[in-house]
A and B are shown apart, each in its own frame.
Chain A
Amino acid sequence: EVQLVESGGGLVQPGGSLRLSCAASGLTLSGNWMHWVRQAPGKGLVWVSRINSGGSNTNYADSVKGRFTISRDNAKNTLYLQMNSLRAEDTAVYYCARNLDIWGQGTMVTVSS
């Protein structure tokens, strides 16, 4: 089955860190842009970050720039999002996506004391 599976979400205190992973099965991530998109509870979709196929080109939403780092390991067929200095407003379901077409089911991140 072709799928992306996110993991690493959970409850963290403000100022804390989490590392999200997105593992691919049945498909390859190499050669494709990969993205992280988030959705706060009851809210719309917001693009967070993207990374090119080789990992040399990354972009971030202003709201996470300097705090989040996207990376990938093509050998492991896995995408990552290192999230530091977390804030309450980072609370959301985080989805990974390959290009625009294949999305994971998401992992919930809750930032609260």
Chain B
Amino acid sequence: EIVMTQSPDTLSVSPGERATLSCRASQSVRSNLAWYQQKPGQAPRLLIYDASTRATGIPARFSGSGSGTEFTLTISSLQSEDFALYYCQQYNDWPFTFGPGTKVDIK
């Protein structure tokens, strides 16, 4: 099973600032990597797939990069609605696996 790790556990950011979240895979997942946002009591929301492609309706302030084992999600200018939990997930090999998440909270 591919193990996904994320850093940091928590990221404290002021509104309008840039946030950079990292995700690492225990072995190569090529570009088969997605990012999700989850708010309390809600289902995950797909932000990015194929490592760098924004999902339908996702604002341009969200961007993804990386391939192989190292990935990054960048939120260029945090809005109030962006404070949430973010998960990366690989879908290169079954079982698909998620990282433990990075919480982005208000500084």
Residues of A participating in the B interface, judged by any CB pair closer than 8 Å: 35, 37, 44-47, 50, 59, 61-62, 95, 100-101, 103-106
**Cα distance A105–B99 when bound, in Å?**
21
Q: Does B84 contact A (CB under 8 A)?
A: no
Using A45-B44, A104-B43 as known contacts, say yes or no to A61 and B95 having CB atoms under 8 A apart.
yes
Min CB gap A67→B, angstroms? 15
Is there an interface contact between A45 and B89, defined as CB atoms closer than 8 Å?
A: yes
The A-B contact count (CB < 8 A) is 43
**Cα distance A105–B41 when bound, in Å?**
9
Beyond the given pairs A35-B96, A46-B98, A106-B43, 20 more chain A to chain B contacts, judged by CB atoms under 8 angstroms and listed by A's residue number, are A44-B87, A45-B36, A45-B38, A45-B98, A47-B95, A47-B98, A50-B94, A50-B96, A61-B95, A62-B95, A95-B44, A100-B34, A100-B46, A100-B49, A101-B46, A101-B56, A103-B43, A103-B45, A105-B42, A105-B43
Q: Does B100 contact A (CB under 8 A)?
A: yes
Tell me the interface secondary structure of chain B in the complex.
loop
For chain B, the bracket of interface size reads 20 to 34
Min CB gap A58→B, angstroms? 10
Is there an interface contact between B43 and A44, defined as CB atoms closer than 8 Å?
A: no
Is there an interface contact between A44 and B95, defined as CB atoms closer than 8 Å?
A: no
Q: Which residue of B lies closest to A101 (CB)?
A: B46
Among A44, A50, A61, point to the contact of B101 (Cβ < 8 A).
Answer: A44
Kindly name the residue among B34, B42, B44, B100 whose own CB sees the greatest number of chain A CB atoms within 10 A.
B44
**Cα distance A35–B34 when bound, in Å?**
15
Is there an interface contact between A103 and B44, defined as CB atoms closer than 8 Å?
A: yes
Q: What are the 4 tightest A-B residue pairs by CB atom distance, in nearest-first order?
A: A103-B43, A47-B96, A45-B98, A59-B94
Min CB gap A33→B, angstroms? 10
